[in-house]
Amino acid sequence: MRGIFYGVGVGPGDPEYMTLKAVRVLGLCPVLAVPRTGGKHSEALEIASKAADLSGKEILFLDFLMTRDEKSAARRHRELAGSVAEKLDAGKNVAMLNLGDPSLYASFGYLREILKERGYETETVAGVTSFCACAAKLGVSLTEARLPLRIVPGDYPELDRELASPGTKVVMKSGREIARVRRAVERSRLPAAAVENCGMPGERVCACLKDVGGAYFTTVLVGEAPERKKKPGSETEENR
Amino acid sequence: MRGIFYGVGVGPGDPEYMTLKAVRVLGLCPVLAVPRTGGKHSEALEIASKAADLSGKEILFLDFLMTRDEKSAARRHRELAGSVAEKLDAGKNVAMLNLGDPSLYASFGYLREILKERGYETETVAGVTSFCACAAKLGVSLTEARLPLRIVPGDYPELDRELASPGTKVVMKSGREIARVRRAVERSRLPAAAVENCGMPGERVCACLKDVGGAYFTTVLVGEAPERKKKPGSETEENR
């Protein structure tokens, strides 16, 4: 019998933000597929290893390309799906680790589509998103009643228009783009706060965007909801 | 010593979507504050009781008002904060349960603000959101690279404009508004899918909005990302 391909959200950083389901599913899978783009370190594997017993697991590194060329990216996705399929054909369940949630700006979706089309069973295990963890860390709400929440990637070209729309805005992975994001937030005249590396080593809570250093995992919250509820310093730090 | 006021996300329904942290924090708290609006049943308490040992816990029901009158709502929030404060003053930690994540359209924020202002320590424990669980259940991605994700409450007045904007749209708690939501989605000509009561009793996965019955917890996904990745039937159901 063929194995099942699982996409497992390990949450944003704090290993305690892994779900009971993520821990159980990792237990079911002899093979862990670990995405990386250059280098050997995987934050997702680090997190999972602190919450679940991964001894004896076979690690299958998935080397994604850092490219915007769609053809080469798609070719690499097919190659990586092939290497996962080999394990599934051998009857092994494979869990692909994902920071945060596997449905949000995650590479799991590409492999899932290819493997689904080839008739493999897949299952997604949702996780805690980084923006929920950042709001918790800042002690603010993400929403106002009856207003939207807008999740925007840091490299989104139409940032000004987005910031001018009603509701709270979350700018994800904004580290590399922080100078541009900071200027857009200044033009919007909205209050903002940020967390760098939420729940990871090097975490920094920034009540003001001027304090942001430029870590890749920088989440910026913009709008009235964060401001109204922001009282820095009165949240406890029981788990740090 | 005063107790700490925790807001604990118990996830969208499936008790296995509770985090390790949520389970641990419930263990630390002798008092569980359980929001309700009419009736005695609490979905959040039901979920928590399946994942954590709640025997011997003192339950403090928080009766929120179903009103749009801001003055009476604010007065009730102060009263409820007062009843939580009594427990904190007695040195007891209090955990307020929240479906999904406590920073997203949750009543925890109101009490947190009042109690913070009165000098109490508060902490937020993030949870898995219903829209991440719905995307996982449908086996689709919520996002396309470089495009936003828009989270919109079902009663948002400017739904047409939101649906016409780039990126995937999630319409939350759209059950009561389903007729209006369905018409707006039809006008937008975008693909859509929905999950009623995701992870709860009475869960229904609806590949088409015509199948939606009108349960309060109905999450609608609208846009190209869900469509491109949608292959109903090929996700496994190992946990149902």
* Tokens standing for residue B68: 């749009």
Lowest mean pLDDT among A40-44, A84-88, B82-86: A40-44
Question: What is the tens place of the pLDDT at every residue in B200-239?
Answer: 999 999 988 988 988 888 999 999 766 554 444 434 433 3
b/e code A168-207 from CB counts within 10 Å (16+ = b) = bbbbbbbbebbeebbebbeebebbbbbbbbbbbeebebbe
Average pLDDT along chain A? 91
Helix orientation angle between A43-51 and A20-28, rounded to the nearest 10 degrees: 100
Cα–Cα distance list, A75 to A82, A125, A229, B143 (Å): 11, 26, 47, 21
B146: contact with A, CB 8 A cutoff: yes
Torsion angle, alpha carbons of A46, A47, A48, A52, to 10: 110
* Tokens standing for residue B157: 């007045």
Mutation target for A interface from B21, B125, B219: give the one with most A CBs within 10 A.
B21
pLDDT at residue number A175:
78
Burial of A117 (0-12, 13-18, 19+ CB in 10 A): exposed
| SS3 state of residue B234 | coil
For residue A236, pLDDT over 60 is answered with: no
Confidence of residue A132 (pLDDT cuts 50, 70, 90): very high
Side chain identity, residue B181: V
pLDDT at residue number B66:
80
pLDDT at residue number B230:
44
Confidence of residue A145 (pLDDT cuts 50, 70, 90): confident
> Partners of A58 in the beta sheet?
A31
Domains in chain A, please, with CATH? 5-125 (3.40.1010.10), 130-229 (3.30.950.10)
Side chain identity, residue A195: V
Question: Which residues, at least 6 apart from A143, have a Cβ–Cβ distance to it below 8 Å?
Answer: A149, A167, A168, A225, B103, B104, B105, B151, B153
Question: Which residues, at least 6 apart from B136, have a Cβ–Cβ distance to it below 8 Å?
Answer: A102, A103, A123, A124, A125, A126
pLDDT at residue number A136:
97
| SS3 state of residue B188 | helix
B143: contact with A, CB 8 A cutoff: yes
A27: contact with B, CB 8 A cutoff: no
∠ at Cα A22 (A21, A28), nearest 5°?
A: 90
Put simply, the answer to whether A19 touches B11 (Cβ < 8 Å) is yes
Q: Which residue of A has its CA nearest to B12?
A: A126
The structure tokens 């899918």 sit at B193
Question: What is the tens place of the pLDDT at every residue in B150-198?
Answer: 999 999 999 999 999 999 999 998 778 899 999 999 999 999 999 999 9
3-class DSSP string for chain A: CCCCEEEEECECCCHHHCEHHHHHHHHHCCEEEEEECCCCCCHHHHHHHHHCCCCCCEEEEEECCCCCCHHHHHHHHHHHHHHHHHHHHCCCCEEEEECECCCCCCCHHHHHHHHHHCCCCEEEECCCCHHHHHHHHHCCCCCCCCCCEEEEECCCCCHHHHHCCCCEEEEECCCCCHHHHHHHHHHHCCCEEEEECCCCCCCEEECCHHHCCCCCCEEEEECHHHHHHCCCCCECCCCC
pLDDT at residue number B146:
87
Q: Classify the C-alpha dihedral A236-A201-A106-B14 as positive or negative.
A: negative
pLDDT at residue number B203:
94
Put simply, the answer to whether A18 touches B20 (Cβ < 8 Å) is yes
Question: What is the tens place of the pLDDT at every residue in B189-201?
Answer: 999 999 999 999 9
pLDDT at residue number B41:
77
Under 8 Å between Cβ of A92 and A6: no
Burial of A111 (0-12, 13-18, 19+ CB in 10 A): buried
The partner residue sitting opposite B20, judged by closest CB among A51, A109, A124, is: A51
Question: What is the tens place of the pLDDT at every residue in A209-223?
Answer: 988 988 888 999 999
Q: Which residue of B has its CA nearest to A159?
A: B148
Put simply, the answer to whether B143 touches A113 (Cβ < 8 Å) is no
pLDDT at residue number B68:
80
Question: What is the tens place of the pLDDT at every residue in A69-108?
Answer: 889 999 999 999 999 999 999 999 999 999 999 999 999 9
Average pLDDT along chain B? 91
Q: Which of A138, A205, A129, A169 is nearest to B7 (CA)?
A: A138
Cβ neighbours, 10 Å, residue A86:
12
Find the helix or strand (DSSP H, E) in which B158 lies.
none
For residue B29, pLDDT over 50 is answered with: yes
Cα–Cα distance list, B184 to A33, A147, B177 (Å): 40, 17, 11
**Cα Rg of chain A, angstroms:** 19
**Cα Rg of chain B, angstroms:** 19
pLDDT at residue number B227:
57
The partner residue sitting opposite A19, judged by closest CB among B128, B142, B235, is: B128
Query: DSSP states of B34-87 as a string?
Result: EEESSSS--HHHHHHHHHS--TTPEEEEEE------HHHHHHHHHHHHHHHHHH
Strands of the B168-172 sheet, one edge to the other: A204-206, A192-196, A218-222, A168-172, A149-153, B149-153, B168-172, B218-222, B192-196, B204-206
* Tokens standing for residue A29: 């899978």
pLDDT at residue number B144:
87
